Amino acid sequence: MSRKAARAASSRSGRCPTDISDERLLLVPLFRRGKREIVEHFDVIVVGAGPAGSAAALTLARKGFSTLLVERGRSPGAKGMFGGRIYAWPFAELLPEWAKDCPIERRVVRENLAFLTDDASLGISFDAPKMAQGRGASFTALRAKFDAWFAKKAQDAGAVLVTGIRVDDLWREDGRVRGVVVAPNDRVVSDLVVIAEGATSTLVRKAGLKADLEPREVSVGVKETVELPAETIQERFGLSETEGAAYVYAGAASLGLRGGGFLYTNRASVSLGLVVSSEDLSRKKVEIQEVQTKFRMHPAVQRLIRGGKVVEYSAHLVPELGAGMMPRLSGDGVLVVGDAAGFLINNGYTFRGVDLAIASGVAAGEAAEAARAAGGMTAANLAAYERFLRRRNVLTDLERFRRAPLYMKKERLFDVYPRMLMEIAERMYTVDGAGKERLFDIVLDEAASAGVPKLKMLLDLLQGARSM
């Protein structure tokens, strides 16, 4: 230590340090003053940089709103989870050039629907290369890449993206939402907050737009990413380098619990997962991992993923009651988009979430524009959101398929009928010299032994046809 230490030593004090309070009194004038409590302001804050949030931020920024997009993960998509497929129609309008740089894994050209029993599978396959083109196109994707790409589009349009921040609460003033709160001394003010937090949104509840989630309102989604060489996928599934396949599984996939399985081909991996009613899981005391393991080990699934390595495992809640569990979609200074609003359609043969999320984000941007023109972000002005959702058929589709979840909730569909179909198939295709029956007789016989009254079966059939 130098002469400075000696000087410091000479000025050493015997007194103990005093209260912090006289610090303020005595010394403030000595320091150059920094700026106190800076409160940042934006026209709109979007919470969550998933597909719904980025679509909202992109639309808002284009319409001249100063827009803040806040994401909890280290980067957009880091915490994102979905089945694996995206229907592309909302891009036709939002980003007509989307296909140029969008991180597409494969374009889906083949749809498969399969019923599983313990060891057998009965499937239908729809092969149409035309599906890869035009407005009806769909593709497989990985969220880490897709969300990062989409959030970049919002940034390019002028939105400010901040990551690694979890919004804790909404800032309220005079009974209306006025911004977001991260910590007691860390809030940002805005005229409008768009909640795009996903299925487990706490802000929707804190905004008073919805009560807590009930077990019957949600399913549990799990997904494994199974790595396979691109060439293996192409050969095994009969696809070209850019083509992909989608599979939906019913029956033993979910061990007879209400729900189903899915498989999507990515470029060099396969997304394999399940969506199972959380109510059934807890009632039957079954662990979701157990269901997933059995599903993965099913011969029909093994045939497709053989030799692959599970490199990622993820799980998430899935809103399940469609239009039945929607929160109020708007309030004073607040809108709800995407999964946070329950925008998810599962009609038994298609699972839709990301397309509805994007469309709702766009509709939120349009609603904000309309509200601005009408004089401000009041609940009355923002109610226009519903009109813009309908224009994109988001609410319309949700309402149309509202009965589907209820119908899907009939266990017969996941347990009794798949088994029945399988028995019929087995008897149809078995030639063992024991004497062949006519198809009609087989069906009647199987229906009788399934133990479901014929009238009930007919009703199920009619109800199913109507809801799907």
Partner 1 sequence: MDPVTQTLKRVGVPSEINPPDANALEMALQLKDRLGTEVVVLSMGPTSFDESLERAVAMGADRSVLLTDRILGGSDTVPTAYALSETIQKIGGYDLLLCGEETTDASTGHVGPGIAGHLDVPQITYASEIRIVDGKVRARRTAEDGTEWWETTMPCLCTVNFGCNRPREPTLTGKIRVKRGGLVTHWSCADVGIDPKKVGLFNSPTIVAKVDTVRLPSRSGQIFSGEPEESVRKLLASLVADRVIGA
The alpha carbon of 6 is separated from its chain's Cα centroid by a whole number of angstroms, namely 65
> Does position 20 bind partner 1 by CB under 8 A?
yes
Interface residue with partner 1 among 2, 285, 287, 430 (CB under 8 A) is 2
Query: Cβ(387)–Cβ(451) under 8 Å?
Result: no
Q: Is 18 among the residues that bind partner 1 (CB under 8 A)?
A: yes
Residue among 64, 123, 164, 299 that touches partner 1 (CB under 8 A): 164
**Strand, helix or coil for residue 45:** strand
Q: Does residue 13 bind partner 1 (CB under 8 A)?
A: yes
Q: Which stretch binds partner 1 (CB under 8 A): 21-29, 169-177, 243-251, 427-435?
A: 21-29
- Per-position b or e across 142-177, b if 16+ CB within 10 A of its CB: bbbebbbbbbebbbebebbbeeebebeebbbeeebb
What is the phi/psi pair of residue 157, to 5°?
-80, -10
> Rule CB under 8 A: is residue 434 a binding residue for partner 1?
no
For partner 1, the closer CB: 171 or 417:
171
C-alpha angle with apex 297: 293 to 299, nearest 5 degrees? 155
Residues 59-88 that bind partner 1 (CB under 8 A): 68, 70
d(CA 335, CA 418) in angstroms, rounded, equals 41
Cβ closer to partner 1: 3 or 438?
3
Q: Decide whether 39 or 439 has the Cβ nearer to partner 1.
A: 39
> Smallest gap, in angstroms, from Cβ of residue 166 to partner 1?
9
Q: Smallest distance from the beta carbon of 70 to partner 1, in angstroms? A: 7
Whole-Å CA distances, 131 to 139, 145, 157, 244: 10, 23, 30, 11
Nearer residue to partner 1 within complex by CB, 81 or 148: 148
- Tell me how far apart the alpha carbons of residues 146 and 224 are, in angstroms, rounded to a whole number: 18
CA of residue 316 relative to chain centroid, distance: 8
Question: Dihedral sign, CA of 98, 99, 103, 106?
Answer: positive
Measured from the CB atom, the residue of 7 and 285 that comes closer to partner 1 is: 7
Of 26 and 211, which CB lies nearer to partner 1 in the complex structure?
26
Q: Does 23 bind partner 1 (CB under 8 A)?
A: yes
Reading the block at residue 391, the tokens are 């224009």
Residue 159 and residue 194 in contact, taking contact as beta carbons nearer than 8 Å: no
Point out which span in 25-33, 122-130, 350-358, 457-465 binds partner 1 (CB under 8 A): 25-33
Q: What is the phi/psi pair of residue 312, to 5°? A: -155, 140
> 78, 99, 144, 165: which one contacts partner 1 (CB under 8 A)?
165
The structure tokens listed for 21 are 């309070």
Decide: 226 and 310 in contact? Cβ < 8 Å.
Answer: yes
List the x/- string, 183-222, binding to partner 1 by CB under 8 A.
x-xxxx----------------------------------
Residue 160 in the binding site for partner 1 (CB under 8 A) = yes
Stretch that binds partner 1, among 175-183, 283-291, 296-304, 313-321 (CB under 8 A): 175-183
Q: Which helix (H) or strand (E) holds 53?
A: helix 51-62
The Cα 418–Cα 123 span in angstroms is: 11
Binding mask 215-254 for partner 1 (x = CB under 8 A): ----------------------------------------
Decide: is 180 part of the binding site for partner 1 (CB under 8 A): yes
Q: Tell me which residues touch partner 1 (CB under 8 A).
A: 1-2, 4-5, 7-9, 11-13, 16-18, 20, 22-24, 26-28, 30-36, 38-40, 68, 70, 160-162, 164-165, 167, 180, 182-183, 185-188
